[in-house]
Amino acid sequence: MRAVLLALIAGALAAGCSTGSSGAASAGSSVSTKSDVGARQLARYRGHGIAFDYPAAWGRYRRGGVFTTMTSPIVDLSTQPMVDPCTHVGNRTTCGLPISHMRPGGVVVAWLTLGGFGVLMHRAPGSVQFRVVPGGCRDIGGSEIITAQVTARHHRAFFAAACLRAPGIAANERAFRAMARSAVATT
């Protein structure tokens, strides 16, 4: 899935982005609230210049200290236990996903900023562009990948990619789309 995510990110960057400036990263926090739709429990993530709501049943793992010129990690979310997705050998760090195999009905989401220095998008703030790749994460047992490219205030771009596993793909895809649409820039 890591190779697919990198290809999708590269495609997003090639779709009309230019580098800009980035705000300072801030620590995230989670607060549970009731959703207006179906009284579903939601948690709120706020940090790294973005805030969004996500299902409270999804656990959160905040990556730290791994930044590249192409992407900067924000947070990982999943319906199953997560581990540190990075391996460190000498001065080289390689990161993947915080799980190695999807459980039935599982979800794993990676949120990133596009560009180590932030990215300015040529789309209207508040726009979200989705893409579905059936079978995109079979290497970890998933059924499909869904991505969201979110253009926030000041045309800053954020990227979320989720691997979903059957059963329950439709419901988890709706939850992912609602999460991406709830995203707002905080800086």
Over the stretch 74-100, which tens digit does the pLDDT of each residue have? 899 999 999 888 888 888 877 778 899
Cα 72 to Cα 20, 109, 117, distances in angstroms: 14, 14, 9
Q: What is the pLDDT of residues 12-23, one digit of tens each?
A: 333 333 222 222
Domain boundaries, the chain: 2-185
Most confident of 30-34, 107-111, 113-117, 127-131: 107-111
pLDDT of residue 138: 93
Q: How far apart are the first and last CA of the chain?
A: 30
Query: Model's pTM, two decimal places?
Result: 0.74
pLDDT of residue 82: 93
For residues 49 and 119, give the distance between their C-alpha atoms in angstroms, rounded to a whole number.
Answer: 12
Cα 74 from chain centroid (whole Å): 7
By C-alpha distance, which of 126, 138, 129 is closest to 102?
138
